[in-house]
Structure 1
Amino acid sequence: MLRLEGITKQIQGQTLFENVDLTLVAGDRLGVIGVNGCGKSTFLKVIAGQVEPDKGSIWVAEGYRVGYLPQAPQVDGNLSVADAVYQSQAEVLTLWHEYEKVAEVGQDMRRLGELQHSLESAGFFELQVRADIAMTQLGLGPLRDVPIDKLSGGQRRRVALAQALTRQPDVLLLDEPTNHLDTDSIDWLEGYLRGYAGAVVMVTHDRYFLDRITSRTLEIEDAQVTCYQGNYARYLEKKSELQALAEASEAKRANLWRRELEWLRRGPRARATKQKARIERAYELQPEYQKKQDGLEIGLGSARLGKKVLDAEGISKSFGSKRLFEKFDLSLAPGERLGIVGSNGSGKTTLLEVLSGRLQPDAGTVEMGTTVKLGYFDQENRELDPNMKVIDALREVAESIPLANGEVLTASQMLERFLFSGRLQHTLVGRLSGGERRRLYLLQVLMGNPNVLFLDEPSNDLDIPTLSCLEDYLDQYPGSLLISSHDRYLLDRCVEQLLAFEGGPQPRRVMGGYSDYAQDKPAPVTAAKKTAAAAPVVVDNAPVRARKLSFKEKRELESLEVSIARAETRQVELEEVLSTQATNYSAVRAAHEELEKLKSDLETQMERWAELAELAD
């Protein structure tokens, strides 16, 4: 058990949260939400013991272990990926390295037995299974022997996530765990966390992820922390109910304000001292009513966009021996909305860069229409002057953007729409949180009033309220849109078609959003299909008599097909065990060992099947 009592935290004179009471027990699934800069990450750091609260106390049961994945984890650059993940049990890792050396020499069997006993007692082999599963499912399998120093920032973050999962602490704190994960890894992580034995506290912008895992939602808003029972959908229902009550109260307030205002306009009597209270009351009501009026929906305008937006013909791009796409054609029409999905490293960002002209294709051409005004929101934050005020940083791009009704939306109104309050608008950029700077960069792109918009992983480092604002904005956006994202909710909400990188020479175009695609997504290519596809076709012009299958070989082929089908079914069952019973060490270890042997046997059967199938043809 872990308990917070009366926790308060301030930073630079601003109260982030105060008087927070919270108890965590095994099986808890807590989602923490709120706008960027409200204190979500600081809240996790306080629980993790990395930041001291200004008031209050934290009690942790004896022997209780707390694990923490920060947004910017530090991993020893001298270690390999595998050693970094195993380092969650550093003492055991030292024993393992000694075991490997003794086993390699093969002379001191007594010492080898002692080391094996020590490793078993310390649970190292269960740790090894957990680590191997985490690395495989997070796309780190091929990188296990690569030094951390050679990895990208996203890969390092996945190593830190695998490290945190392998530790299996009693309380697992995750700050944006889905950043830099592809959709397959996110699906696996969902299943893993649902079956996690300990308590999980997470900050995430991924609403599907939040909805499918959490049992409580903790909202930080205006320094107040409110805990709602249920998942994210239940939180939204409760907030809607509270909003309805607030709006009913606001309607009464608005009617009262109109009556007071009408009374004020009657003239001289308003100046009487005895009426001073009514005058002050009317002016107090006015800002609240006006604030509600400012939130009304507006229609966006944009620069005129001609019939031709973008045409790509036969484009190809490779890096070294890795082909990302080849002879790919794409046409983007006015107002069209496309999403891009695929595993990490499949080529999503590269495709955007080639289409935008930032990167030249190896072959093919890309042509943009003459009326195109491109806005590109990439994964690298633009350098912002830390000594400039937020409002001035946006006004540098434009003072206003046009609306469909001929009016304009000013820079200040745009900031307000994206949750920068009046006070925050006059704050120095250098004092913003990382998420707030990311939000400001997004606004700079939008304030350029583009009629074609490229968004590369826009949900990274943005909070849920900001994503909701962006989605509302995109609902009214009249231009063409191309989004690369792992955020399934965002794709469902904002796009009409997908480009899916599935390992072929070109991404496949699919109608609908992500959920439509996930239902019909092709199954992973099995070893049989890979072997059959890889079987060489030999052309020989000499007249030869084709050898046919013998009766015995026909029976063997039939038997292999049945055996392979059973093995593939069993493979799916074992993978399901690894996904859903991650905390059952004995079951996971047995399933892992059986799966490795099954894959080896299956590969042998496939090779023989390919030989016989070729003769049968």
Structure 2
Amino acid sequence: MESYLQVENLSKSWGYDTLFQHVTFGVNEGEKIGLIAKNGSGKSTLLSIIAGEADQDDGTVIFRNGLRVGYLKQMPTFDGSRTVIDTCLTGDDARSIAVKHYEEAIKHGGNELMTTAIQAMDNAGAWDYEDRFKQILSQLKIDDIDQPVSQLSGGQIKRVALAKILIDEPQFLMLDEPTNHLDIDMIEWLEDYLTRSHMTILMVTHDRYFLDKICTKILELDQAGIYSYSGNYNYYLEKRAERIDAQNAAVDKARNLLRTELEWMRRQPQARAHKAQYRIDAFYDLRERAQVRRDEGNVKLNVKAGYIGNKIFIAHHVSKRFGDKVILNDFNYTFARYEKLGIVGDNGVGKSTFIKLLLDKLQPDSGNFEIGTTVKFGYYSQDGINFDEGKKVIDAVRDVAEYIYFDEKTHYTASQFLQLFLFTPADQQKLIEKLSGGEKRRLYLATVLLQKPNFLILDEPTNDLDIPTLEILEDYLSRFNGCLIVVSHDRFFMDRVVDHTFVFMGNGVIKDFPGNYSEYRAWKEYHEKAAATAARPATTVKAKPQRANTHDNSNRLTYKEKKELEALTQELESLNKEKRELETLFDSGAAIDDIASKAARYEEVKNLIDEKELRWLELSEKDEK
């Protein structure tokens, strides 16, 4: 494979903090690589250095000559005065110009203008390019190509940036959190698009299903070094655990040996010059290895929720709309004690509005939410909060509480509590303005949980959080002895923490599903497949009319074949009956376990019908000759 990128001995520090040191790796043609690290370890900085938008302290970045490179920033910016189409099609090549003129002709009409535009499209060979342009914008739900960028939200701008880079179709694609601000349908489309694409990819993402499906290699930044794993995300988890065990064993061995060597170094200091220089050199090397920080694994949050009574909340005939857009329509629901609810749906269907209505941050047009008297909400907004950037991390927590009590006997100091969220004592002394975006989100999460709510409402909590923090949060939420509502596009996260799902379908319709997201998807796929099959005409086996005998019997069925044909007719009737019964089951909304247990048989029956129909047709045609 041809080398596309070579990074040699790359180092970068911010003040006294070393992000990475002497990092070396390469990217070959066709590789799809995920870059993983804790927040603040330098993932985004590394990508920006490779893209030439930030400077390294030391080392080199070498691309193959003539390589077309695309870079999606975590927070892209564009000229606000330009339209979406002008932003996406910035090239001065014949195809881009032809597509823009063609779109202009569609908008303004006129036979002469359209004829000229079509001719230009033909001359530039731009029809496939225009198809890709339209498909990508459609899948990313970018509808108004003439809208000025200044009128777009941050999430819409990120989608425009993603569309632009996919339309350009570079040979080497660098993506920084590409799934942020995408709904689940968009993420699954992007997964499929990138999996099938021939583009070489280096990306940072917290979406573990996304990593597992797309990436064939994982790079991990850890303690300023980089480690490579040739496999998908699940393979990485297995091999990383082995690496950590081996590394911790080596550190323990070095520390034990260091005690012996330290005593040797301290003996007879006057004669040290006469000691073996190789052993002295080995001592300093050993001391460096012994000072490596052991990886103790993910910590566990043990914050307990306050008492919550039986009455949580009841929605009474709640309706809400914005103009013609219906968010809720006569919505009724009684939330159960200890329920853990996930909310999914397309962007803009009202998921965040629902939460604001529940929290009394927005008033319904009619109806009301009746909240239990013991309920104490903890709200994590996708918009975050505005910290005082001049404060230290530790002070932001102390402003909420100096001590965090879990029960009458157990409490944490603010510093101990922050360590549960992966803020080391040194990190706690940093000014908030020095934190990365992900570290600020982690700090925000800590300030929400330390208030000990018994009803957590998390709106897109996984955006910008690193995977270690997500694993800690997932473990905590799975043990959380309160109520939970989560709005998230992160399927892995949802599958770990929720047991019930609201699917916002749009126009005020909410599908209430008793399971997590993957279970809902499985049910939906079976349901759609069964409905599509039921819509096709059923296979029927028609009786054949009697024919007069002919003198040429060479092509007639043998006795054995006639018996086979009769048996096939009966088998097909039986199989089609079973198939219809299974489709009725899928369409009935039966329990997931029932559907899952029958799914394999359904596929088997369909394959048997296809196989036996082919043989039946072969024998029937021979019999008709």
Normalization by structure 1: what TM-score?
0.75
Q: Which residue in the other structure is 1:195 paired with?
A: 196
1-side partners of 2:295 and 2:42: how far apart? 26
Quick check: 127-136 or 339-348, which moved more?
A: 127-136
Q: How far is the alpha carbon of 1:296 from its aligned partner?
A: 6.3
Q: How far is the alpha carbon of 1:217 from its aligned partner?
A: 0.7
Q: How far is the alpha carbon of 1:491 from its aligned partner?
A: 0.5
Q: Which residue in the other structure is 1:425 paired with?
A: 428
Quick check: 165-174 or 299-308, which moved more?
A: 299-308
**Closer/same/farther in 2, CA of residues 102 and 294 from structure 1, 3 Å limit:** closer
**Closer/same/farther in 2, CA of residues 132 and 49 from structure 1, 3 Å limit:** same
1-side partners of 2:114 and 2:323: how far apart? 46
User: Which amino acid letter does the alignment assign opposite residue 461 of structure 1?
Assistant: D
**Closer/same/farther in 2, CA of residues 297 and 10 from structure 1, 3 Å limit:** closer
Aligned length: 503
Q: Map 1:304-319 to 2 at 5 A.
A: 304-319=307-322
Q: Which residue in the other structure is 1:302 paired with?
A: 305
2-side partners of 1:339 and 1:439: how far apart? 21
Quick one: which of 315, 325, 340 aligns to 1:322?
325
Q: How far is the alpha carbon of 1:332 from its aligned partner?
A: 2.0
Quick one: which of 437, 440, 449 aligns to 2:452?
449
Quick one: which of 423, 427, 439 aligns to 2:442?
439
User: Which amino acid letter does the alignment assign opposite residue 51 of structure 1?
Assistant: A
Deviations 1:464-489 (A, max 9, x none): 11111211221332111100000001
2-side partners of 1:399 and 1:476: how far apart? 25
Q: Which residue in the other structure is 2:55 paired with?
A: 52
User: Which amino acid letter does the alignment assign opposite residue 200 of structure 1?
Assistant: I
Quick one: which of 393, 401, 406 aligns to 1:403?
406
Deviations 1:47-104 (A, max 9, x none): 2111222222222222211101101111232333233222356664334445677896
Higher relative contact order at CA 8 Å, sep ≥6: structure 1 or structure 2?
1
Q: How far is the alpha carbon of 1:310 from its aligned partner?
A: 1.4
Q: Which residue in the other structure is 2:82 paired with?
A: 79
Q: How far is the alpha carbon of 1:335 from its aligned partner?
A: 1.7
Q: Which residue in the other structure is 2:165 paired with?
A: 164
Query: 1:89, 1:167 within 8 Å by CA — same for their partners in 2?
Result: no
Q: Which residue in the other structure is 1:605 paired with?
A: none
SS in 2 for 1:58: strand
**Closer/same/farther in 2, CA of residues 289 and 191 from structure 1, 3 Å limit:** closer
**Closer/same/farther in 2, CA of residues 215 and 110 from structure 1, 3 Å limit:** closer
User: Which amino acid letter does the alignment assign opposite residue 20 of structure 2?
Assistant: F
SS in 2 for 1:239: helix
1-side partners of 2:92 and 2:333: how far apart? 49
Q: Which residue in the other structure is 2:68 paired with?
A: 65
2-side partners of 1:456 and 1:92: how far apart? 41
Q: How far is the alpha carbon of 1:294 from its aligned partner?
A: 11
**Closer/same/farther in 2, CA of residues 168 and 41 from structure 1, 3 Å limit:** same
**Closer/same/farther in 2, CA of residues 89 and 513 from structure 1, 3 Å limit:** farther
**Closer/same/farther in 2, CA of residues 296 and 112 from structure 1, 3 Å limit:** closer
1-side partners of 2:200 and 2:35: how far apart? 13
User: Which amino acid letter does the alignment assign opposite residue 414 of structure 1?
Assistant: F
2-side partners of 1:459 and 1:145: how far apart? 32
**Closer/same/farther in 2, CA of residues 207 and 275 from structure 1, 3 Å limit:** farther
**1:126 and 2:128 matched:** yes
Q: How far is the alpha carbon of 1:148 from its aligned partner?
A: 2.0
Larger radius of gyration: 2
1-side partners of 2:393 and 2:114: how far apart? 68
**Closer/same/farther in 2, CA of residues 95 and 500 from structure 1, 3 Å limit:** closer
Q: How far is the alpha carbon of 1:150 from its aligned partner?
A: 2.0
Quick check: 161-170 or 105-114, which moved more?
A: 105-114
Segments of 5+ residues of structure 1 without an aligned counterpart are: 261-269, 277-283, 530-617
User: Which amino acid letter does the alignment assign opposite residue 115 of structure 1?
Assistant: A
User: Which amino acid letter does the alignment assign opposite residue 351 of structure 2?
Assistant: K
Q: Which residue in the other structure is 2:227 paired with?
A: 226
Query: 1:300, 1:404 within 8 Å by CA — same for their partners in 2?
Result: no
**1:115 and 2:120 matched:** yes
User: Which amino acid letter does the alignment assign opposite residue 212 of structure 2?
Assistant: D
Q: How far is the alpha carbon of 1:11 from its aligned partner?
A: 2.5
1-side partners of 2:479 and 2:254: how far apart? 30
Q: Which residue in the other structure is 2:218 paired with?
A: 217
1-side partners of 2:36 and 2:298: how far apart? 22
User: Which amino acid letter does the alignment assign opposite residue 137 of structure 1?
Assistant: Q
SS in 1 for 2:89: helix
Segments of 5+ residues of structure 2 without an aligned counterpart are: 270-286, 533-625
2-side partners of 1:522 and 1:504: how far apart? 22
Query: 1:211, 1:233 within 8 Å by CA — same for their partners in 2?
Result: yes
2-side partners of 1:34 and 1:424: how far apart? 16
Query: 1:298, 1:403 within 8 Å by CA — same for their partners in 2?
Result: no
Q: Map 1:155-554 to 2 at 5 A.
A: 155-246=156-247, 297=300, 299-403=302-406, 406-503=409-506, 505-521=508-524
Query: 1:190, 1:213 within 8 Å by CA — same for their partners in 2?
Result: yes
1-side partners of 2:114 and 2:333: how far apart? 64
Deviations 1:184-207 (A, max 9, x none): 111110011111112111111101
Query: 1:33, 1:219 within 8 Å by CA — same for their partners in 2?
Result: yes
User: Which amino acid letter does the alignment assign opposite residue 450 of structure 1?
Assistant: P
SS in 2 for 1:502: strand
Query: 2:500, 2:514 within 8 Å by CA — same for their partners in 1?
Result: yes
Normalization by structure 2: what TM-score?
0.74
Quick check: 474-483 or 5-14, which moved more?
A: 5-14
1-side partners of 2:6 and 2:294: how far apart? 38
Quick check: 9-18 or 60-69, which moved more?
A: 9-18
CA RMSD in angstroms comes to 3.3
**1:35 and 2:42 matched:** no
2-side partners of 1:475 and 1:380: how far apart? 24
SS in 1 for 2:444: helix
Residue identity (%): 41
Query: 2:248, 2:295 within 8 Å by CA — same for their partners in 1?
Result: no
Deviations 1:272-314 (A, max 9, x none): x9799xxxxxxx9xx9999888976464323221111211111
Q: How far is the alpha carbon of 1:233 from its aligned partner?
A: 0.6
Query: 2:24, 2:226 within 8 Å by CA — same for their partners in 1?
Result: no
**Closer/same/farther in 2, CA of residues 128 and 404 from structure 1, 3 Å limit:** farther
Q: Which residue in the other structure is 1:579 paired with?
A: none
1-side partners of 2:103 and 2:299: how far apart? 67
1-side partners of 2:67 and 2:475: how far apart? 43
Q: Which residue in the other structure is 1:572 paired with?
A: none
